[in-house]
């Protein structure tokens, strides 16, 4: 996949990379220009979910974001973004195998729990020191440091994620 295949859009006030958005919009533009919002959203979700993870609990939010991008492309009126995701996950580490392993476990845990989250892997050491953690990898969920220097089990990550959504 080339970098140009990924388009960043805003879903629930979070930047999300979507694979194939531009080509999907171009493919649909003529046929769907006069169709209803629901038809456009359903078709875009169907097409884009082939290559993108779209959590069930926020599928409507993704559909709204896709519709907004479609309408923008056609120069039509569209509604601005509102709302926010309940989870913000940060993985701090320079990009070693342990850091990458933690990111994979976090994404797998989110998928198993069917949770949407803004997941960011911060690899710049100048940014990492701002979080005042000594050791890597480190995991922060909604600003709270959950672990430093170890890769927790997926089950532990799932417990922390669930705790964070219950607050």
Distance CA 38, CA 40 (A): 5
Query: 119, 162, 122, 158: which is closest to 17 by C-alpha?
Result: 119
Domain 88-166 sits in CATH at 3.40.30.10
**Rounded to 5 degrees, what are φ and ψ at 144?**
-100, 125
CA angle 33, 35, 41 (to 5 degrees): 95
pTM of the model: 0.53
Cβ partners under 8 Å of residue 65, min gap 6:
9, 10, 11, 16, 81
**Rounded to 5 degrees, what are φ and ψ at 33?**
-55, -35
Start-to-end CA distance of the chain, whole Å, equals 38
User: pLDDT digit string (tens) for 75-124?
Assistant: 887 776 655 556 889 999 988 889 889 999 999 999 898 888 888 898 98
Q: Where are the domains of the chain?
A: 3-74, 88-166
User: pLDDT digit string (tens) for 32-80?
Assistant: 999 999 999 999 999 999 999 898 889 999 999 999 999 888 888 777 6
């Amino acid at each position: 996949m080339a970098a140009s295949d990924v388009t960043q859009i805003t879903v629930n006030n979070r930047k999300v990379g979507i694979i194939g958005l531009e080509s999907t919009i171009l493919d649909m533009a003529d046929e769907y220009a006069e169709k209803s919002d629901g038809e456009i959203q359903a078709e875009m979700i169907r097409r884009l979910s082939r290559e993108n993870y779209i959590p069930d609990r926020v599928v409507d939010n993704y559909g709204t974001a896709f519709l907004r991008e479609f309408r923008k492309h056609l120069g039509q009126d569209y509604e601005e973004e509102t709302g926010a995701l309940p989870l913000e996950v940060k993985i701090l580490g320079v990009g070693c195998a342990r850091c990458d392993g933690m990111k994979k476990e976090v994404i797998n845990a989110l998928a198993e729990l069917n949770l949407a989250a803004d997941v960011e892997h911060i690899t710049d050491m100048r940014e990492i020191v701002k979080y005042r953690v000594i050791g890597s990898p480190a995991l922060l969920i909604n600003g709270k440091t959950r672990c430093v220097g170890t890769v927790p089990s997926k089950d532990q990550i799932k417990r922390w994620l669930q705790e964070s959504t219950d607050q």
